[in-house]
Chain A
Amino acid sequence: MDTERELLKGNTPTLVLAVLADGPMHGYAMAREIERRSDNALKFKEGTLYPALHALEREEFITGEWQREGGGRERRVYAITPAGLAALEQRTRTWKGFASAIRRVIGGETDAGKSPTGTTGDLKAEPAL
């Protein structure tokens, strides 16, 4: 469980960028979207999303703006920047390479994604990036 948490913690910025690549969103919607895309496999403490958003905004990978919606509720909506898209591309490449290497080592799989014995290994819950 701790390993899973650590992995998630390290990859939260990538998940946020991946979700924002589809359009502007506020924090709560991002948390829901990550859960939805991962079929509830990636459940993280939602409060830890905000430090990650703050860091990404500082790095100018995302921008945030308060918006008042029709019902009067104010939300901070984030959008990915061109620098953020480039960072996402880079991180996705790194992650895919890393995941593929790990899979080969622990699952005995080939690059094609199949093990010599024909099984698919245990890394089914890999985040959809």
Chain B
Amino acid sequence: MLENHQPEPQGISKRSLPSDIPSLEPRIEVYLEEVCASFRAGLPEETRSALRAEMRVHLEERVAANVELGDTREEAVSRALEQFGESKQVGRAWQRERRGTLLARGASAKLSGRIALLLYVPSCALALFLLQVVNTIILGMSAGYMSPQTVPTIEAISYMAAFLLPVPAGLLTGLLAQGRAVRTTFRTLCLLWLPMAVCYAFRPSSTQSPLQSAGAMLLAFGLFWIPIGCASAGIGGWLRKKTTHLRQRLVLR
């Protein structure tokens, strides 16, 4: 192990981003500019700046090591750049990594979509079932089989179907999906919007016309399920990031 290059356990402050101070050596900056051109389009400014700073630190350390080995400053910079690799070669490596990221992101979006669908389809089915229970109770009341004391039960079930069911599904989507949980949840719920309205419109022994039922479901789904589901997915995603960050801190300690 290179003990002198290990991070010191004491006297270290941890930061999320470095200060992007250009190198005193213009050749290093020109070189970094060339390398960074290869991933300019694909990464946010903050990440690019951090990567550039990281590579700059590496190059400066290599220059210092080369000077220690007896090179002049000029030679040390040339050798450090050579050891780091041609800018085109490093740029190609970044492009390969970028392609890998895009593929992984596509796969992760697909996986998130599957997770959301797997969680929301049963939730929707349960909501329809609960609404059917409510409908049956109302029919029973109007036929005189049930007492008006069942009204609070109807309200509780209706609230559960309208407000509570999208919450666990959204939270779980956020926690399990690798990213883009809110977007994926929104897409999934949009996909389920119409089928839910159709299923609700043609439910057995409905007291409303199919058009009325479909309209009510479209409205309720749009007003409650989609915003509540997306917000829950957002919270789930946030929790996931927080726990990941906590894990990272523990590992680094």
Contacts of A24 in B (CB 8 A): 6-7, 252
In terms of DSSP, what is the predominant structure of the interface of chain B? helix
Contacts of A29 in B (CB 8 A): 2, 5-6
Instruction: Specify which of A9, A32, A46, A51 is in contact with B5 (CB 8 Å cutoff).
Output: A32
- Is B84 in contact with chain A by the CB < 8 A criterion? yes
Q: How far is the CA of A68 from the CA of B25 in the complex (A)?
A: 21
CB-nearest residue of chain B to A29: B5
Whether A66 lies near B12 (C-beta < 8 A) is no
Q: Which of B68-86 contact A (CB under 8 A)?
A: 83-86
- Is B94 in contact with chain A by the CB < 8 A criterion? yes
Whether A47 lies near B93 (C-beta < 8 A) is yes
Q: How far is the CA of A51 from the CA of B89 in the complex (A)?
A: 11
Total A residues in contact with B, Cβ cutoff 8 Å:
41
User: Do A65 and B248 form a contact, CB below 8 Å, given A47-B89, A51-B96?
Assistant: yes
Segment from A73-81, A86-94, A95-103, A115-123 that makes contact with B = A73-81
Contacts of B15 in A (CB 8 A): 65-68, 74
Contacts of B85 in A (CB 8 A): 45-48
Q: Which 3 A-B pairs have the closest CB atoms?
A: A45-B85, A29-B5, A47-B90
- What are 29 A-B contacts defined by CB distance under 8 Å? A9-B93, A24-B6, A25-B6, A26-B7, A26-B57, A28-B62, A29-B2, A29-B6, A45-B83, A45-B90, A46-B58, A46-B85, A47-B35, A51-B94, A51-B97, A52-B93, A55-B97, A66-B14, A66-B18, A66-B50, A68-B12, A74-B15, A74-B19, A74-B57, A76-B50, A76-B54, A77-B7, A80-B251, A81-B251
